[in-house]
């Protein structure tokens, strides 16, 4: 006889009688191994002889330490500043690195060192992060760290076949990540365990904590009251090596939520609305803090959705104050001890009351949204900030010639794949079946984690979807990041899809530049997939069923948490070896997927002269344009091979084409990577010129490492996205901006360019570019930078990692 009970347990008990589950492990316990199983205070008291079970969440001692120190640190900061503090400020001050003097840091100006509590990495970015960490010289990570295998699984035939294929196709990479994790004390979540940010929310996120992660949507953990920030692998390497982590002290944007969500409106619509207000760069350099009665009435996973898509407005991160919904979620996911510890210092896990009473005094920008009046939105196409209320979509689609027929509806991604999301979407699917409707579009579901999938399957939600002919894909990112083998995408036909993901850049989901992708809540995706019509408004419109009757969908409903509790047989977690010194990590010299790194060369101690213009990018140039995902993900651990995708998606200003630029050595036009390799072979440096918000989107540091590896020396833009600018600096690149943005127009196709002033490179001191035009004329322009002294040392050393290696050796 077996009982399934949810406990937070760390044990080496026999796998034969114990099946690990998650942070809170769920165990099926054979009663022959028990002496006592009895109720105590409404819970089960379990006694197993000789098992030495310790009931706790992951890293509970670290969490208790953070909470023990937080009040004194926050009180000291409040005294120093002489005013009340926002929640974001409290968490930031509580995580100042010990080498930082407490002061009133200037928002958007002061560079500050922090000591994050943990690091999270997904499999695509973890490869390069860990290849760098292997050079750092440490025997073990300095803070709790995890790797999550969610990016390398292609959605095609359904979960069972797709996961089996991934385990074969990417076995070399998975084995590498597992062995590195085992050696250096890193928790490893196997393929199929789930999407990193859902797994982190279920297992590791905690109110008031600070986490960095090698994925821009690390910010999802703000749904549990964290300051969680997406970074490049070099930043993760710093923290795992025990070194300070640097961040410019953020500006603060407050979003006051009044009223309450109801009907068809979901948490997703809050961030879709905010994206429309702030645009893709409106949150750059800022933390967005949500508060108000509307925030308190929202579920924890709903808060996570809002924070997740904060990456799409360029925000450093987003967060909510600790409340009852977070406590409920912590307890439901087996972390009642964390909830109890948070309850004890609840006032420190929210802004001071004076802040919420008069927010305009404490935030640099304030937005107010009445949730009772908020309408469901569809954002897109081709950018996540083009916000359209569902009631206006028919009009906007006609005006812009957007295809109305919807080919696919997709639910999932790290943004919307929780139990609540699936239950609300399933309520629409259930109605459709009962009312004699069928889906006009194809329908796909990616559960967020094995725990969510298992629980949803137990509760009949997945059967509801499959009864409506939906395909259940693996618990992984899949189409959201371009890992979707979509039939017919190669034809590049104009078509529309709707999804609950976060990004909808051209080619993002299926590689087809003519796929018009629109972002919506899971329940709205379900409704539109059933209708097959982008202009369908479920609030007002009816559909024709199999009997020819006009039927209307009722508003969705769902469960914040599963009524029967979460359950799972095998969560897919692998704990690291207690002592990894005997673990061997091997990389085959002829591997096409993995390549050990060689240090980048130091700066030559001279100005950079004779640089060729590689490309002048026009318009939006995201990290997807600079280093595409999709099929290229397989090379994320091989810098040479993946560099063959460098800037192939960027639009050349001079001919309006992608991956077609002039080779100044031959005068011929050809691919960007091949041209840059020709310059590198000739020992000629180059410069990339970009437009506004260059490098927005993913945190992928490959977009910085590839140009560095191939010999690009400078990236000059009108403005940068935060993470990409930092990644360039970390890799020893020059990240510069036009002092006068109109000087962008002065850059000509055949220019040769000098960078003057590097021998006196200093914080706040502009540099000069000399443009040598083909006709023999030349002109000078002034360019700015945001390098502080430490970052200048990164440039001089050739990369931050070259300094890290020396620092770790001296620890």
The pair of three-digit structure tokens given for residue 237, joined into one six-digit string: 């390497």
Q: What is the C-alpha separation between 518 and 402, in angstroms, rounded?
A: 11
pLDDT, residue 3, reads 33
pLDDT, residue 629, reads 85
Catalytic hit among 217, 453, 508, 700: 700
pLDDT, residue 807, reads 73
Q: pLDDT tens-digit profile of 497-555? A: 999 999 999 999 999 999 999 999 999 999 999 999 999 999 999 999 999 999 999 99
Q: Is 309 helix (H, G, I), strand (E, B) or coil?
A: helix
Q: What is the C-alpha separation between 223 and 207, in angstroms, rounded?
A: 9
Read off φ and ψ for residue 660, nearest 5 degrees.
Answer: -150, 100
Residue 10 has pLDDT above 60, yes or no: no
Q: pLDDT tens-digit profile of 584-618? A: 998 999 999 999 999 999 999 999 999 999 999 99
pLDDT over 90, % of the chain: 89
Catalytic hit among 22, 503, 722, 724: 503
pLDDT, residue 385, reads 97
Residue 41 has pLDDT above 80, yes or no: no
Contact 620, 386 (CB under 8 A): no
pLDDT, residue 92, reads 98
Catalytic hit among 148, 151, 625, 722: 151
Q: pLDDT tens-digit profile of 154-169? A: 999 999 999 999 999 9
**Of the candidates 81, 123, 127, 126, which has an alpha carbon nearest to the alpha carbon of residue 104?**
81
pLDDT, residue 56, reads 66
Find the range with the poorest average confidence among 53-57, 197-201, 312-316: 53-57
Q: Is 75 helix (H, G, I), strand (E, B) or coil?
A: helix
Cis peptide leading into 520, omega within 30 of 0? no
Catalytic hit among 59, 123, 150, 269: 150
pLDDT band at 13 (very low <50, low <70, confident <90, very high): very low
Q: What is the C-alpha separation between 475 and 462, in angstroms, rounded?
A: 13
pLDDT, residue 698, reads 80
Q: How many CB atoms lie within 10 A of CB 223?
A: 31
Residue 765 has pLDDT above 60, yes or no: yes
Active site residue 698: yes
Contact 646, 710 (CB under 8 A): yes
pLDDT, residue 9, reads 40
Q: Is 768 helix (H, G, I), strand (E, B) or coil?
A: strand
pLDDT band at 19 (very low <50, low <70, confident <90, very high): very low
Place of tokens 């099926």: 28
Q: pLDDT tens-digit profile of 347-405? A: 999 999 999 999 999 999 999 999 999 999 999 999 999 999 999 999 999 999 999 99
Q: What is the C-alpha separation between 757 and 739, in angstroms, rounded?
A: 15
pLDDT, residue 630, reads 82
Mean pLDDT of all residues in the chain?
92
In the 3-class helix/strand/coil scheme, how is 218-276 assigned residue by residue? Answer: HHHHHHHCCEEEECCHHHHHHHHCCCCEEEECCEEEEEEEECCCCCCCCHHHHHHHHHH
Q: pLDDT tens-digit profile of 648-688? A: 999 999 999 999 999 999 999 999 999 999 999 999 999 99
Contact 391, 537 (CB under 8 A): yes
Q: Kindly state the average pLDDT of the residues 304-324.
A: 97
**Of the candidates 260, 229, 239, 285, which has an alpha carbon nearest to the alpha carbon of residue 111?**
285
Cα dist from 185 to 575, 717, 811, whole Å = 8, 40, 19
Residue 53 has pLDDT above 80, yes or no: no
pTM given for the model: 0.88
pLDDT, residue 694, reads 96
Q: Does residue 70 or residue 32 have the better pLDDT?
A: 70
Active site residue 151: yes
Cis peptide leading into 713, omega within 30 of 0? no
Q: Kindly state the average pLDDT of the residues 701-730.
A: 95
The pair of three-digit structure tokens given for residue 534, joined into one six-digit string: 């982008």
Active site residue 700: yes
Longest dimension (CA), the chain: 91
- Collect all residues with Cβ–Cβ distance below 8 Å to 679 and sequence separation of at least 6: 612, 614, 665, 685, 686, 711
Q: pLDDT tens-digit profile of 261-300? A: 999 999 999 999 999 999 999 999 999 999 999 999 999 9
Q: pLDDT tens-digit profile of 562-586? A: 999 999 999 999 999 999 999 999 8
Q: What angle do CA 483, 485, 489 make, to 5 degrees?
A: 115
Cα dist from 704 to 205, 420, 565, 646, whole Å = 29, 37, 44, 9
Q: What is the C-alpha separation between 28 and 46, in angstroms, rounded?
A: 12
Q: What is the C-alpha separation between 443 and 593, in angstroms, rounded?
A: 32
pLDDT, residue 811, reads 57
Residue 722 has pLDDT above 80, yes or no: yes
Active site residue 215: yes
Contact 498, 528 (CB under 8 A): yes
Q: What is the C-alpha separation between 633 and 656, in angstroms, rounded?
A: 26
Q: What is the C-alpha separation between 46 and 746, in angstroms, rounded?
A: 74
pLDDT, residue 699, reads 74
């Amino acid at each position: 006889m077996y009982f399934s009970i949810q406990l937070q347990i760390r044990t080496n008990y026999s796998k034969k009688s114990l099946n690990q589950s998650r942070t809170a492990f769920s165990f099926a316990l054979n009663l022959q191994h028990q002496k006592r199983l009895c109720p105590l205070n409404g819970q089960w008291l379990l006694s197993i002889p000789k098992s030495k079970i310790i009931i706790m969440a992951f890293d509970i001692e670290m969490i208790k330490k953070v909470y023990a120190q937080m009040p004194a640190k926050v009180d000291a900061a409040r005294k120093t500043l002489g005013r009340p503090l926002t929640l974001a400020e409290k968490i930031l001050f509580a995580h100042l690195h010990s080498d930082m003097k407490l002061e009133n840091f200037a928002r958007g100006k002061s560079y500050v060192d922090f000591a994050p509590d943990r690091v999270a990495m997904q499999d695509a970015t973890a490869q390069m992060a860990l290849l760098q960490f292997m050079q750092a010289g440490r025997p073990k990570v300095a803070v709790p760290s995890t790797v999550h295998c969610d990016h390398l699984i292609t959605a095609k035939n359904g979960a069972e076949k797709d996961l089996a294929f991934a385990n074969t196709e990417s076995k070399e990479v998975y084995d590498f990540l597992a062995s590195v994790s085992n050696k250096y004390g890193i928790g490893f979540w196997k393929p199929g365990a789930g999407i990193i940010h859902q797994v982190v929310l279920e297992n590791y996120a905690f109110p008031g904590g600070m986490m960095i992660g090698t994925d821009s949507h690390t910010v999802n953990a703000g749904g549990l009251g964290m300051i969680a920030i997406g970074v490049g692998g070099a930043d993760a390497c710093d923290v795992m090596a025990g070194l300070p982590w640097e961040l410019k002290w953020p500006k603060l944007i407050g979003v006051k939520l009044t009223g309450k969500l109801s009907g068809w409106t979901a948490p997703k619509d809050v961030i879709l609305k905010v994206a429309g207000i702030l645009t893709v760069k409106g949150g750059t350099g800022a933390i967005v803090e949500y508060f108000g009665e509307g925030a308190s009435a929202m579920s924890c996973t709903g808060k996570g959705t809002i924070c997740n898509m904060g990456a799409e407005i360029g925000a450093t991160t987003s967060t909510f104050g600790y409340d009852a919904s977070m406590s409920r979620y912590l307890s439901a996911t087996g972390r009642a001890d964390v909830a109890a510890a948070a309850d004890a210092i609840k006032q420190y896990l929210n802004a001071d009351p004076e802040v919420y009473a008069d927010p305009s005094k404490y935030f640099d920008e304030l937005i107010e949204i009445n949730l009772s009046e908020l309408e469901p939105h569809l954002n897109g196409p081709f950018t996540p900030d083009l916000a359209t209320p569902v009631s206006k979509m028919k009009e906007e689609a006609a005006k812009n010639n957007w295809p109305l027929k919807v080919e696919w509806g997709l639910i999932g991604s790290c943004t919307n794949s929780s139990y609540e999301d699936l239950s609300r979407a399933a309520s629409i699917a259930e109605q459709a079946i009962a009312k004699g409707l069928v889906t006009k579009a194809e329908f796909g579901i990616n559960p967020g984690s094995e725990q969510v999938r298992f629980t949803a399957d137990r509760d009949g939600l997945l059967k509801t979807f499959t009864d409506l002919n939906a395909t259940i894909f693996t618990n992984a990112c899949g189409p959201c990041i371009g890992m979707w083998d979509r039939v017919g995408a190669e034809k590049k036909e104009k078509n529309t899809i709707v999804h609950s993901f976060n990004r909808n850049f051209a080619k993002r989901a299926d590689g087809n530049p003519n796929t018009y992708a629109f972002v919506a809540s899971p329940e709205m995706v379900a409704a539109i997939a059933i209708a097959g019509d982008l202009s369908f408004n479920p609030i007002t419109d009816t559909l024709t069923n199999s009997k020819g009757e006009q039927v209307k969908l009722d508003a969705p409903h769902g469960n914040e948490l599963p009524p029967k509790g979460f359950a799972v047989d095998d969560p897919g977690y692998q704990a690291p070896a207690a002592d990894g010194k005997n673990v061997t990590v091997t990389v085959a010299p002829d591997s096409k997927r993995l390549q050990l790194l060689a240090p980048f060369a130091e700066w030559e101690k001279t100005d950079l002269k004779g640089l060729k213009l590689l490309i002048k990018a026009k318009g939006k140039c995201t990290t997807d344009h600079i280093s595409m995902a999709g099929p290229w993900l397989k090379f994320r651990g091989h810098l040479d091979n993946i560099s063959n995708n460098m800037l192939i998606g960027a639009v050349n200003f001079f001919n309006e084409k992608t991956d077609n630029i002039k080779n100044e050595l031959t005068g011929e036009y050809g691919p960007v990577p091949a041209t840059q390799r020709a310059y590198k072979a000739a020992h000629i440096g180059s410069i990339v010129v970009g437009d506004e918000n260059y490098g927005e989107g993913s945190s992928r540091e490959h977009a910085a490492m590839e140009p560095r590896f191939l010999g690009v020396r400078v990236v000059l833009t009108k403005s940068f996205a935060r993470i990409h600018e930092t990644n360039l600096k970390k890799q020893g690149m020059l990240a510069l901006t036009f002092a006068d943005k109109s000087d962008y127009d002065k850059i000509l196709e055949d220019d040769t360019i000098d960078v003057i002033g590097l021998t006196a490179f200093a914080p706040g001191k502009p540099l000069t570019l000399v443009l040598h035009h083909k006709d023999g004329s030349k002109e000078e322009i002034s360019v700015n930078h945001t390098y502080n002294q430490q970052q200048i040392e990164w440039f001089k050393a050739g990369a931050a990692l070259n300094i890290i290696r020396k620092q770790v050796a001296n620890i």
